[in-house]
Amino acid sequence: MKILLDNYKFERIKYFDEVENIDLALRIYKSSEEFFNMLSEEETGKREKLTKNTVIKDLELTPSGIDYEDKFFGLVYSMDKNLVGVLDLINGYPRKDIMYIGLFVIDGKLHRLGHGKKLFGDLMHMARDNNFSAIMLGVLKENKKAQDFWKAMCFRVVKDNKTFIEMIIDL
């Protein structure tokens, strides 16, 4: 899969020792601390402090049966080289013809400026160029803002689990 975006630049982080990039990703995580608090409470039952290890865990985590080469975790920059967010894409999960968004976080100070919508538009275009038939993601049930955003992007619910909702958009 090639990550070529129309309005943004994607810089993949492949290794845990890319200290500068890990620090930049952590900065984005901290700008969206409300989301990560929901996530850590869901996973561990308590709020955990965001650290470099949080980012490294996300960088290294792959779904069962997915090769690390099919995971694209990295930083998103605007064309004028300003850091906009962090993105995690999985090539061919849960089926070969689906691109999975594992993480889509826009810098908190850039919320409601159109970056999420524009970046998602770029992802749809890129997914079509890579011959995917759909894009899929999971949203915490508690995260109503994210659910509303993805519904506004025309995602539909395919599975409603106890703690999260799986959503899909056909391309």
The whole-number mean pLDDT for each consecutive block of 10 residues of the chain, a chain of 171 residues, reads: 93 94 96 79 72 94 94 97 98 97 96 96 96 97 94 97 94 96
Phi and psi at residue 32, to the nearest 5°: -125, 45
Q: What is the DSSP letter of 142?
A: T
pLDDT of residue 45: 67
Report the first-to-last Cα separation within the chain, whole angstroms.
Answer: 16
Q: Which domains does the chain have, with CATH numbers?
A: 8-170 (3.40.630.30)
pLDDT of residue 40: 65
pLDDT at 38: 75
How does strand 156-160 pair with strand 164-170? antiparallel
pTM beyond 0.85, yes or no: yes
Q: Hey, how many other C-beta atoms are within 10 angstroms of the C-beta on 109?
A: 8
State the Cα–Cα distance between residues 5 and 41, nearest whole angstrom: 33
- Amino acid present at 58: D
Q: At what angle do helices 19-31 and 52-60 cross, to 10 degrees?
A: 100
Alpha helices in the chain (DSSP H): 19-31, 33-44, 52-60, 115-129, 144-152
Q: According to the model, what pLDDT value does residue 48 have? A: 76
Residue 135: the pLDDT is 98
